Amino acid sequence: MLRNVTLVLLVVAGCGGKTVDNDDGGTNDGGPKQDAIVVPIDAFPPPSDGAPPPQCNNLDPGKKTISVTEVAQDPPPFGSTSTFIQPGLYELASLTIWTGPNGPSGSSGSIAGELRVNAANSADYIFQVATVQDNQAPMWSNSDGNNAGPGVIAISQTCPSPAGAVKVLYEADSTSFTIRVVTGSQTADETLALIGP
């Protein structure tokens, strides 16, 4: 279940995997489900360094708290992009969980989070994440991200404990990016807005 989300970059809870249809409806795919990927939803354990000082980074989770919204319908199509994610500091702008036609709907808590995106030589990106969900202790994590095709990024947690790569869908422009992760019968779309260099 995605109720314990600490930014979609780090999917927590659940087990197994899910095939994700990365077909954006365009003509470059070669056919439906041509770009299908499998997302192992237990690849990232939840960050465990909730007590300051954080061992992974020194980001503040931010003060902007948003409601985690559950929508009882299938997710809309997701448009992939090959645009590079702009380095800088991002703030969590929205988190929507599509729970399927028979799933729950409404608010499922609140979350605040900030994420720093750095360009790197060993990976396309280094993601530094700080989040606080509901009234729980803040959590920090770091991950490497590598482009794995148009609109797909492979993210490997490096701190607090290393974990294997998970492929997620993304779309980006010069001021924001959205990541989509599918876990079991739920799909999470998380949008992060650029707030500084």
Kindly report the CATH number assigned to the domain that includes residue 124: 2.40.128.120
7 in a structural domain: no
Is residue 82 assigned to a domain?
A: yes
Residue 82, pLDDT score:
74
- Encoding tokens for residue 28? 């470059």
Across 22-26, 51-55, 125-129, 164-168, which has the greatest mean pLDDT?
Answer: 125-129
What is the predicted pLDDT for the residue at 183? Answer: 84
Most confident of 9-18, 89-98, 145-154: 89-98
In this prediction, residue 11 carries a pLDDT of 37
Q: 12 in a domain, yes or no? A: no
Model pLDDT, residue 81:
78
Report CA 47 to chain centroid distance, whole Å: 14
The reported pLDDT for the residue numbered 120 is 83
In this prediction, residues 107-133 reach a mean pLDDT of: 91
User: How many structural domains does the chain have?
Assistant: 1
CA distance 7 to 71: 18
First to last CA, the chain: 34
Range of the domain at 101: 17-196
In a domain, 3, yes or no: no
Q: Is 9 within a domain?
A: no
Asked if the structure places residue 1 within a domain, the reply is no
Query: Residue 34 class from Cβ within 10 Å (0-12 exposed, 13-18 middle, 19+ buried)?
Result: exposed
Determine what percent of the chain is predicted with pLDDT higher than 70.
73
Is residue 6 one of the residues assigned to a domain? no
The answer to the question of residue 5 being in a domain is no
Predicted local confidence at residue 149, as pLDDT: 87
46, pLDDT greater than 60 = no
